[in-house]
Amino acid sequence: MKTRKLGNSGPGKNGLEVSALGFGCMGLSFGLGPAVEKAQGLAVIRSAYEQGVTFFDTAEVYGPFTNEELVGEALAGVRDKVVIATKFGFKNARNTEGMDSRPETIRAVTEASLKRLKTDRIDLLYQHRVDPAVPIEDVAGTVKDLIVEGKVLHFGLSEAGVDSIRRAHAVQPVTALQSEYSLWWREPEQSVMPVLKELGIGFVPFSPLGKGFLTGAITTETKFTPGDFRNIVPRFAEDARKANQRLVDVLREIGAGKNATPAQIALAWLLARETWIVPIPGTTKLERLKENLGAAALSLSAEDLRDIEAAIAAVPVQGDRYPAHIQAMVNR
């Protein structure tokens, strides 16, 4: 798989080189229904590496803790050949308890994450959500100290707004911003992407397949298991799913002419937006993994992109992307 550069900061000032598509490990342990069996999780992560993925995303809150342990075990044998990103920022590693980015918490979480990941450094350490109680300069300064100590190599932010990005970047250059971005959530194009381009910061879209919806595998008949986050997402309400199916139909029609699936078109579209964008689709299934990674070899022409834009413009997406109490954690 071809590689891309995130940011222009860090050792050598050459940015962080990663595979064009990364792998979001969260769903193996957290958020989208029951965690998979350990053997299955190890197999999926290792298969991703074998197919060219070198960029793996996790967080202490995923589980909590178990996802980092899974990633650490899966990649221990190839540690020097991969880039591991993890995150701090939720109180007691639980996203239901609010945020906590106090410097002492960042340090404690980093030490614990290093142990779970079986490594001596974290390649990319994100603040999971901006903490309104802690100045972003203090957060960036703490991570800067960890970089000087060699425990962290690059600094990232997740779901941060323009002001927070600028203030953090002034203290410690930000290598990457991770936020939701896909064909059914394009708000970052108006808010944060211009400043990322200006400052030379990479962009790591999570949920690049709309939490699975853009694959075409989710219909109005789909029942999510208890504990699946999508049960409380307005965009996945039955009426919204019915309306949003038109978007998948458009992707399927476009893909038919390229022998590509809706998921592959959605990922290829992201890759074509900017050279500094690295999506991190996740899955629990080996066949879906192979399908997703196939998007890295799919080339979309300028005409293809115009056709996609025209088609998508005619399909307004229905439903909010988050329930109100979670949207309140997004820094805009």
Tens-place pLDDT, residues 51-69: 999 999 999 999 999 999 9
* 8 A C-beta contact, residue 151 and residue 119: no
Q: Is the peptide bond before 64 cis (omega within 30 degrees of 0)?
A: yes
Q: 49, 62, 126, 181: which is the annotated catalytic residue?
A: 62
Residue 256 lies in a domain: yes
Per residue in 128-146, pLDDT (tens digit) is 999 999 999 999 999 999 9
DSSP string, 56-78: EE--TTTTTTHHHHHHHHHHGGG
* 8 A C-beta contact, residue 176 and residue 192: no
Q: Which helix (H) or strand (E) holds 254?
A: helix 238-256
Residue 20 lies in a domain: yes
Residue 229 falls in which region: left (phi positive, over 0), alpha (psi -120 to 50) or beta: alpha
Residue 29 lies in a domain: yes
Residue 38 lies in a domain: yes
Using the predicted structure, report yes or no on whether residue 9 has a pLDDT greater than 70: no
- The number of distinct structural domains making up the chain is 1
SS3 content of the chain, % helix, strand, coil (to 5): 45, 15, 40
pTM of the model: 0.97
SS3 260: coil
Residue 278 lies in a domain: yes
Name the token pair of 75: 């990649």
Q: What is the CATH number of the domain that holds 102?
A: 3.20.20.100
Would you place residue 331 in the very low, low, confident or very high pLDDT band (cuts 50, 70, 90)? confident
Would you place residue 90 in the very low, low, confident or very high pLDDT band (cuts 50, 70, 90)? very high
Residue partners of 108: CB distance under 8 A and separation at least 6: none
Q: Which domain holds residue 58?
A: 3-327
Average pLDDT over residues 234-257: 94
Q: Is 181 a catalytic residue?
A: no
Using the predicted structure, report yes or no on whether residue 10 has a pLDDT greater than 60: no
Q: How far from the centroid of its chain's Cα atoms is residue 302's Cα?
A: 26
Residue partners of 137: CB distance under 8 A and separation at least 6: 167, 168, 170, 171
Residue 332 lies in a domain: no
Quick one: pLDDT at residue 166? 98
